[in-house]
Amino acid sequence: MCGIVGYIGEQEAVPILLDGLQKLEYRGYDSAGVVFPVDGRLHVEKQAGKLAALQEKLNGRAYPAVAGIGHTRWATHGRPSDANAHPHTDCSGRFAVVHNGIIENYLPLRDWLKAEGHVFQSETDTEVLPHLVEHFYRGDLVEAVREAVSRLEGSFAMAVVAGPEPDRVVAVRQDSPLVVGLGRGENFLASDIPALLKHTRRTYILNDGEVAVLTRERVKVLDRTGQEVAKEVFEVKWAAEQAEKNGFDHFMLKEIYEQPRALRDTLSGRIGGNDCGVALEDLQLDVAGLKKIFITACGTAYHAGLVGKYIIEKLARLPVEVDIASEFRYRQPLVDRDSLVVVISQSGETADTLAALREAKRYGAHVVGVTNVVSSSVAREADDVLYTWAGPEIAVASTKAYTSQLLIMYLFALYLAEKRKTVGREDLRQIILEIKKLSHKAQFILDNTAGLKSFAEQYVDCSGMFFIGRGLDYAVALEGSLKLKEISYIRAEAYAAGELKHGTLALIEEGVPVVALATQGALFEKMISNIQEVKARGASVLALAMNGLDEVEKVAGQVIYIPATHPVLAPVLTVIPLQLLAYYTAVGRGCDVDKPRNLAKSVTVE
């Protein structure tokens, strides 16, 4: 996610802004910039690349500015470049904005502003903001910002400075975090607390819809109606290192809890009007000519591909083959010009996945990349790109990227189904309505984790754990077992539940923990039998079932329910308890959760 900083006071602003951006580097970014008013004009310094390069350019040069804002950009709309870096300014150069989030309706706004004569310099969604402020400015920056914000749809945390009003910094929070730091004779602004701790521990946590007006002497906070609100001071007790994790003990837990937001961001702007239809980026796909789809990826991304197979075959009625990338690239797959190859990669840099992508292109296939990193190698080499907008994923164990990849698989399957008319409009609409509720239902799960912690505590010293499921639950079982083994080092195996009697059942004995996924109503009775099979051999069963399938309580030792949703969408929710189970188990074993032994976040070698 992007990082925002702001300052107004008596000290020189530029060093404070650069230092603040440095404290936000852990969030991941690809460009940086600052802007400050000097003698009634705005001075902008911004460029692609690391902050150190910008610091080198600015250090040693004295700037008399005592106010300003800064930004580190994690690209979503528009590749990393000097022009796309923030801050962005209006035509007159009087207003500058930095922004974190996604402006869903930036295209119609951009068209309207262009028709009004505004000239744009970048490919970003953000650039509509300074032009809107310019359009509405009548001598009051706060009112112009409020007017501009009232036109926006989507998520945004933003800060604005103006040459004509150098004595204030205006900030707005909507669905992206923003914190005010309260000083003496100076005030601060940041996306995240780490950027403030050097100066103050007294903060205002802005709420959605609030506008903060920072001057040297004070901070005024307005609600959506423009009324001043009395904000409670939040005293930060965290140490700096803790603050990078926003108070969570590990990046992995922070990222598990960021999933509702990642789902909202990944979905934003991709559902057509009145919930009908999927508005995916302009894919250059000849859907009518499609004969077969290949999906290839590694690790967790491969597991997302397995869900993709089930969904695309079920909804779009197209044959799908899923391959581990390191297998795909050596087995001479029957890929041809009528094939579509989908490569999934959070980092966009995994060596095997990149090699598979190049192999597919050698066969003449059309390649769609699904990645979380704008301008990554996968993004650059694929013919089309569908971005997950999960924000930087720092923990080695992939969580929010996985659920965002699942969401892309659903949207892609619905896109194909709509074009191939294999799903009726009403069914399409029902699934889309349920997709829009996933973020809220994910939050519900995250707010009710007690049962998981107790199960994890019981089995923290177990020598092995089994995950069983059928259909989509089997695909999720594979992800659950990978999560557990990669961060807790417990031998975990996932099996198709119907496969137990073909060998695995021999391993089940008294006290062996088995996690049974039973969310698919059509396969529920079969799963009940499988649970009884392992129970009869002494297994201790934790069942994950969808609300309403409470028959399972009669056979399983412990049950975690997930909120009811369309069966095809269950994986997005079912995986969250499995991520938390792995997390609590690893913490209980004293493992290095964010950096597990022998593993890297991005496997850029074969």
Binding site for ligand AGP (CB under 6 A): 298-301, 345-347, 350, 353, 396-398, 486, 602-603
Active site residue 601: yes
What amino acid is encoded at 90 in this protein?
A: D
Q: 515 with 466: CB under 8 angstroms?
A: yes
Choose between 159 and 301: whose C-beta lies nearer to ligand AGP. Answer: 301
Residue closer to ligand AGP, measured from CB, 187 or 345: 345
452: Cβ–Cβ under 8 A, 6 or more apart, which residues? 560, 577, 580, 581, 584
Alpha carbons 42 and 62: distance in angstroms, whole number: 15
Phi/psi region, residue 374 (left: phi>0; alpha: psi -120 to 50; beta: rest), is beta
Q: Write down the residue that tokens 């029902």 correspond to.
A: 430
Least distance (Å) between residue 465 CB and ligand AGP? 17
Least gap, CB of 227 to ligand AGP (angstroms): 46
3 state DSSP class of 320: strand
Q: How far apart are the first and last CA of the chain?
A: 29
Give the nearest distance from C-beta 301 to ligand AGP in angstroms.
Answer: 4
Distance CA 295, CA 356 (A): 10
Specify the residue, 80 or 299, whose C-beta has the smaller distance to ligand AGP: 299
Q: Which residue's CB is nearer to ligand AGP, number 73 or number 483?
A: 483
Q: Considering the complex, what minimum distance in angstroms separates the CB of residue 536 from ligand AGP? A: 33
CA atoms within 13 A on the CB side of 149: 28
User: Least Å distance between CB 60 and ligand AGP?
Assistant: 39
Nearer to ligand AGP by Cβ, of 396 and 442: the residue is 396
We find the least distance from the C-beta atom of residue 253 to ligand AGP, in angstroms, to be: 14
Give the ranges where 469-565 is alpha helix by DSSP (H).
Answer: 472-488, 524-536
Determine the residue with CB nearest ligand AGP: 299
User: Is the CB of 90 or the CB of 352 nearer to ligand AGP?
Assistant: 352
Q: Which of 419, 436, 526, 601 is catalytic?
A: 601
- The least CB distance from residue 346 to ligand AGP, in Å, is 3
Token readout for 317 is: 């009625």
Candidates 2, 231, 245, 309; catalytic one: 2
Looking up tokens 């404290």 gives: 23
Q: Please choose, from the candidates 516, 501, 503, the residue with its C-alpha nearest in 3D space to the C-alpha of residue 557.
A: 516
User: Smallest gap, in angstroms, from Cβ of residue 382 to ligand AGP?
Assistant: 13
Q: How far is the CB of 191 from ligand AGP (least distance, A)?
A: 24
User: Which are the contacts of 447, defined by CB distance < 8 A and separation ≥ 6?
Assistant: none
Residue closer to ligand AGP (CB basis): 100 or 350: 350
What is the C-alpha radius of gyration for the chain, rounded to an integer number of angstroms?
25
Strand ranges in 83-129 using DSSP code E only, listed in sequence order: 88-89, 95-103
Residue 22 or 405 having the CB closest to ligand AGP: 405
Closest distance to ligand AGP from the beta carbon of 495 (Å): 19
Q: Annotated catalytic, 437?
A: no
Nearer to ligand AGP, 4 or 298 (CB): 298
244-252 long-range contacts (CB < 8 A, ≥24 apart) are 244/26, 244/192, 244/194, 246/192, 246/193, 249/587, 250/395, 250/583, 250/587, 250/593, 250/594, 251/394, 251/395, 251/594, 252/395, 252/397, 252/399, 252/487, 252/583, 252/593, 252/594
Closest to ligand AGP by CB, 330 or 440: 330
Alpha carbon distances (Å) from 135 to 93, 96, 138, 228, 240: 13, 13, 9, 25, 40
CA dist 16 and 186 (Å) reads 12
Residue listed under structure tokens 């995916």? 280
Cis geometry, peptide bond prior to residue 80 (ω within 30 degrees of 0) = no
Give the residue numbers marked as catalytic. 2, 601
